[in-house]
Amino acid sequence: MSNNDAMLLQEAERARQSSYSPYSNFSVGAALLLESGKIVLGSNQENASFPAGLCAEGVAVFSAGTNFPDEKIKTIAITAASQSTQLDHPAAPCGICRQSIAEYEKKQGTPIQIIMKGQTGPIYICDSI
């Protein structure tokens, strides 16, 4: 893993600290690296009508699309943690987030690298959704 990828995972872990997940007790952070070098953060945000809420990946992707509409997303780093057990494997994006990432890949005409990490265990790196 490159130094840039490791730094992006650290940013995702920092974003995870702002997760609001009192219903699932499962916090997720995401950090996007844009083509310009800017980093956009997102964390999951739940509400009392659980499971309705926002995923970290969606928060970050849509924030980038809103605030930096002409910039391509190069990489998304995603970290997940459970308050009830040690998460020893990465958590992949849900189907809705996968669809959103796929559409951004199509929109920008380039793949988006995805890096996924749990609290411990392996780190997965995918070249595209």
User: Does residue 60 contact residue 19 with C-beta atoms inside 8 Å?
Assistant: no
Q: Please tell me whether the overall predicted TM-score, pTM, comes out greater than 0.85 for this model.
A: yes
What was the pLDDT predicted at 51?
Answer: 78
Spans of all domains in the chain:
3-126
For 42-51, the pLDDT digits (tens) are 999 999 987 7
The CA-atom distances, in angstroms, between 81 and each of 43, 70, 116, 118 are: 12, 32, 12, 6
Mean pLDDT (whole number) for 42-62: 93
- Enumerate the active-site residues: 57
Q: Collect all residues with Cβ–Cβ distance below 8 Å to 22 and sequence separation of at least 6.
A: 46
Burial of 105 (0-12, 13-18, 19+ CB in 10 A): middle
For 81-111, the pLDDT digits (tens) are 999 999 999 999 999 999 999 999 999 999 9
User: Under CATH, which architecture does the 3-126 domain have?
Assistant: 3-Layer(aba) Sandwich (3.40)
